[in-house]
Amino acid sequence: MKKYFFITLFLMNIYYPSELYSALTWKIFGNLNEPRQYFGAIPINNTEILIIGGYDNTSGSGKSLSTCEIINLDSGYTTYTQSMNETRFCFVTLITKDSNIIVLSGTKNPSGSVLTSSCELFNTKTRKWSIIGYLIEPRFQFSADFINDHEIIIVGGRQEGNDILDEVEIFDISTGISRQVNNFIYRSGDNVSGYTSNNKFIVFGGRDGGPNSYRSEVIYTYNIANDAWDIFDVFNNQTLFPSALKLSDQRLVISGGSFSESPNNNSRDIYIENNGGISLAGIMFYPRHWHNMAQWNSDSVLIIGGFDSNVNNIFECEWFNTQTRITSRGPILNYGRSMFKVVSLPSKQNINFRRILAIGGKDSNSRSIESIEILEPEISSYPPIITQSSSDCDNFYFTVSDSNLINKVELTGFKNNNVKVSTIESLPASVVHVVVSLIDKKQNGYFTVTCTSSKTGLSVELSDTIFSKIYFLKLISPIKNGTIDIGDTINDSVKCVDVELKNDGYQDIIIDSARLVKNYEFYIPSGQLPITIPKGQRGTLRICFESSVIGTFNDSLILKDDCDSLIFPVVGRCIVNKPPYSSDGRLDCENFYFTVTDPNFIDRIELTGFNQNVTITIIETLPDSVVHVVVSLIDRKKTGFFEVTCYSNKTGLSDRIMGKIDGKSSVLKVLTPLDSGVIIVGITDSGVLKCIKVLIHNTDSEEFVLDYARLDTNIEFSIPQAQLPLTIPPGDTAELVICYLPSSLEEQSDTLTLGDLCDTLRIPVIAQGDTAFYSGKGRCGTLLNGKTLTPGSMIKVGYPVPNPGSNEVSIIVSGSNGLPGRCYLIDLRGELIQEAEKVNSVSGTDEDEKKSIEYNINLNNVSTGVYFIIVETIEGKRIFPYFVMK
């Protein structure tokens, strides 16, 4: 991916570090009693330095040292102190919380064939050494650091025979016992470790073998809680054993290292911790390896010695300003040296500076040297100092300090564009936090800020460019819990997914670099790059996964956007060849249903073996990874037997499903009261509710629960629902109550429906209404109760005909005589609602011919309710209940 911005800070015209420190020179402090390289050097206090072990090859075949010396800066002498219990070099030296000194493991000879696993402690009060424990794996050229006040994590290195390790162990200084933890990401010797300003333990800069072997650009951090290694950040290049320094503000500075050894090619890069990551901050004049760094004051680091790409020791030193990111020429060593030690101690002459000692090492002929050089401050007046710079996409932040007070912070020069400057503190102040911000966030900004102290007349200038947020790259899919999930595949099979990316920025993005950290099981097919994604649009990047080993595998996809690195975890699973898997089997009266799945696809499903009275249906089109299958009876009254086999051509494996489907669909039988297949309720007086018990027989060998019993019309006939569900034991009977309330004097019918096992049982129900009751008053006002018989055979009254969607009811009365009469509508209280209108009358020509009269009742003004239509003729009265619904 193209990187569209890079922060470059520089001082202009006023005070360069080379001018400020031009008078500084390295001076010979003295000599060690024994020449040494690959040794340890740790300050005991502000005036004494302990020199530990190492390797001396100035005579004979060389020797590993156990001797120790103390450099006294006050007296100017170097004297022997107690030796270690074992000789060692290429070991790690650490300081405990109570200021004692620990050495870990190491080698006893240059070939690495004899190692020591012992760990020794130097008591700074008694000046005595003691063995406190042993590592599980003796090693040299490794890294180590405290993870708490009593445990040390040891990472990688070389074991006996020079084989590279990826093993990691944690040594407890209080018990002397070491325990193994999760291995490092790859085999790593000559690696470097340290803590970031936010207390993350990081490891980087190792290689997995000899010259030109694999080395990684990835910086890893150890998650103690999960015992896991995570990606912290990425260098621009793969580098071996760079030099690392922890600043007084707790940030890390990292420089140099080796790209390759045959031919030798060293790095000039300088990285610094910023905004929670490690970013490229500057370039050295010389490519360096096996060099050192020391902090000089709050904003300056001195890069010292090492050898160049021609394996020649470097005499020249360089200044690197951690705030302005400027590299400038530094003082020259009296002796070019590499594989040496540097110690930085407080200066007595000026509390704002340090004094630096370069001790021992080896010369260009690879011989151990004994000389000690010292660099001390010789100046005392300075301009304001810029510290603690940081940036985001829209702002640049820095802090400027001066004990003589900062009186003015302003934009100066002629190149200020689209920026504004502000200070957090009110001026004057000794420490001022400055913010330079973009005015229009969609355009670049250029600035020069000058900070001036009126008391000294000195000032410092800071110039830079703030690039606008020109794009923002976002991962859309396939993402699951923040991880690109490739999914499952079988061993030795390739599975690819298209990773969808969206450009949420203001201009097009050209992705010309996309890579995976490990690039083993996962890979990015060639030919995809560059990928152009227009603003607001989406693009895809294909990632593939293949493994011959069963398990879950992880990698990380690294992309860059305008403000930070985009690192997305990638996961894929390689699964063993498994046969198709059937599930979700269920049965109804005529069918058996099941689902069969296989990520390698189902290619064929068929009836095999013994099959009887069944057929098979496949819902999906084959091949498919998920297939729904239905096995059905051919003859519903007979039992079916089946055997279904599902095949996957890719794996050659299959799954077989067998079973039977019982053919019975009905188990219920109505016994009484039954006459010619009809339930007979009998004759009932009008207005009287009559209930009968229907005896139902369960012919099955299992208990049956009747929960569905319905009548089609459900007006005159009804089923009390409180009796349901009705449980009928196997082979036994139960009673179902049906009730009848007649609405006419004629035979009435309905149909009973019972929910059977797999079918419905329907039986007609009939009953007879006997009489219709009415009341009235006699001629003298006496209340009379009586009942009418069915009108004589000579007169027939038709049922009221409701006309859906109409507001009229028609009633036709026909007969051979006695037709003149009356038709009217009353309510439940017997109140007259409406007299029917006679709309049609037909008379026969013969006395025996039938006559008919049609009555209409208009329901426009009749509300919803229950009513009765009364038809009176000479022969009697007919009463019809009628329901009005609006």
- Split at pLDDT 50, 70, 90, the class of 877 is confident
**Residue 429 neighbours by CB distance under 10 Å:** 17
| DSSP summary character for residue 722 | G
Lookup: tokens for 63: 């020797």
Mean pLDDT over 23-32 rounds to 94
Cα dihedral 516, 519, 522, 524 in deg (nearest 10): 60
How many Å separate Cα 276 from the centre of its chain?
A: 22
How many Å separate Cα 874 from the centre of its chain?
A: 91
User: What is the average pLDDT score of the chain?
Assistant: 86
AA identity, residue 242: P
Residue with the larger pLDDT of the pair 8 and 820: 820
Least confident of 492-506, 552-566, 583-597, 647-661: 552-566
**What share of the chain has pLDDT > 70, as a percent?**
89
Amino acid 665: pLDDT: 67
Amino acid 176: pLDDT: 96
Least confident of 191-205, 675-689, 797-811: 797-811
Q: Is the pLDDT of residue 327 over 60?
A: yes
Q: Per-residue DSSP letters for 1-12?
A: ---------B--
**Sign of the CA dihedral with 599 first, then 604, 609, and 613 last:** positive
Relative to beta strand 565-575, strand 483-490 is parallel
Contact 726, 736 (CB under 8 A): yes
| Rg value, the chain, Cα | 50
- Split at pLDDT 50, 70, 90, the class of 6 is very low
- Split at pLDDT 50, 70, 90, the class of 775 is very low
Q: What is the pLDDT of residues 218-267, one digit of tens each?
A: 999 999 999 999 999 999 999 999 999 999 999 999 999 999 999 999 99
Q: Is the pLDDT of residue 560 over 80?
A: no
Question: E strand or H helix at 28, and its extent?
Answer: strand 27-36
Q: Is the pLDDT of residue 638 over 80?
A: yes
Q: How far is residue 498's CA from residue 543's CA, in Å, rounded to a whole number?
A: 6
Lookup: tokens for 521: 């099981």
Q: Which residue has the tokens 């709309």?
A: 839
List, by residue range, all CATH 2.60.40.10 domains of the chain.
473-575, 668-769, 784-884
Lookup: tokens for 763: 């039986």
Amino acid 843: pLDDT: 63
Q: Is the pLDDT of residue 20 over 60?
A: no
Q: Is the pLDDT of residue 375 over 90?
A: yes
Q: Per-residue DSSP letters for 109-146?
A: STTS-SB--EEEEEETTTTEEEEEEE-SS--BS-EEEE
Q: How far is residue 354's CA from residue 294's CA, in Å, rounded to a whole number?
A: 9
Amino acid 779: pLDDT: 42
- Split at pLDDT 50, 70, 90, the class of 57 is very high
Question: E strand or H helix at 879, and its extent?
Answer: strand 876-884
Amino acid 816: pLDDT: 59
CATH superfamily of 93-240: Kelch-type beta propeller (2.120.10.80)
Q: Is the pLDDT of residue 368 over 60?
A: yes
Q: Is 595 exposed, middle or buried (0-12, 13-18, 19+ CB in 10 A)?
A: middle
The CA–CA distances, whole Å, from 429 to 14, 390, 401, 412 equal 21, 21, 8, 20
Residue with the larger pLDDT of the pair 52 and 849: 52
Amino acid 7: pLDDT: 34
Q: How far is residue 69's CA from residue 81's CA, in Å, rounded to a whole number?
A: 5
Q: What value, to the nearest 5°, has the Cα angle with vertex 733 and ends 732 and 735? A: 160
- Split at pLDDT 50, 70, 90, the class of 286 is very high
Amino acid 530: pLDDT: 87
Q: How far is residue 113's CA from residue 241's CA, in Å, rounded to a whole number?
A: 22
Q: Is the pLDDT of residue 848 over 60?
A: no
Full-model pTM: 0.49
Q: Is the pLDDT of residue 497 over 60?
A: yes
CATH of domain 668-769: 2.60.40.10
Relative to beta strand 876-884, strand 865-873 is antiparallel
- Split at pLDDT 50, 70, 90, the class of 797 is very low
Mean pLDDT over 59-88 rounds to 95
Least confident of 125-134, 183-192, 522-531: 522-531
- Split at pLDDT 50, 70, 90, the class of 650 is confident
Mean pLDDT over 450-464 rounds to 88
Q: How far is residue 336's CA from residue 778's CA, in Å, rounded to a whole number?
A: 145
Q: Which residue has the tokens 């008391």?
A: 455
Q: Which residue has the tokens 């083993």?
A: 520
Q: Per-residue DSSP letters for 255-322?
A: E--EEEETTEEEEEEEEEEETTEEEEEEEEEEEEBS-EEEE-SSSEEEEE--B-TTSPBP-EEEEEET
- Split at pLDDT 50, 70, 90, the class of 791 is very low
Instruction: List Cβ neighbours of 847 (8 Å cut-off, separation of 6 or more).
Output: 816
Contact 812, 796 (CB under 8 A): no
The torsion angles phi and psi of 771, rounded to 5 degrees, stand at -135, 165
Q: Is the pLDDT of residue 445 over 60?
A: yes
Q: What is the pLDDT of residues 168-179, one digit of tens each?
A: 999 999 999 999
Amino acid 687: pLDDT: 66
Q: Is the pLDDT of residue 881 over 90?
A: no
Amino acid 786: pLDDT: 43
The CA–CA distances, whole Å, from 225 to 151, 174, 180, 324, 510 equal 14, 21, 15, 38, 39
Amino acid 13: pLDDT: 35
Residue 529, helix vs strand vs coil: coil
Amino acid 314: pLDDT: 97
Give the architecture (CATH level 2) of 473-575: Sandwich (2.60)
Mean pLDDT over 499-523 rounds to 84
Q: What is the pLDDT of residues 733-765, one digit of tens each?
A: 999 999 988 877 678 899 999 987 777 889 999
Mean pLDDT over 150-179 rounds to 96
Mean pLDDT over 536-549 rounds to 90
Residue with the larger pLDDT of the pair 817 and 466: 466
Q: What is the pLDDT of residues 99-136, one digit of tens each?
A: 999 999 999 998 889 999 999 999 999 999 999 999 99
- Split at pLDDT 50, 70, 90, the class of 846 is low
- Split at pLDDT 50, 70, 90, the class of 772 is very low
Question: E strand or H helix at 812, and its extent?
Answer: strand 808-815
Residue with the larger pLDDT of the pair 6 and 401: 401
Amino acid 544: pLDDT: 94
Relative to beta strand 316-321, strand 300-304 is antiparallel
Mean pLDDT over 712-726 rounds to 86
Q: How far is residue 558's CA from residue 438's CA, in Å, rounded to a whole number?
A: 29
Q: What value, to the nearest 5°, has the Cα angle with vertex 223 and ends 220 and 226? A: 135
Domain 784-884 has CATH 2.40.40.20: no
HEC string of 197-254 equals CCCCEEEECCECCCCCCCECCEEEEEECCCCEEEEEEECCCCCECCEEEECCCCCEEE
Amino acid 335: pLDDT: 96
Looking from the CA of 345 toward its CB, the CA atoms found within 13 Å total 22
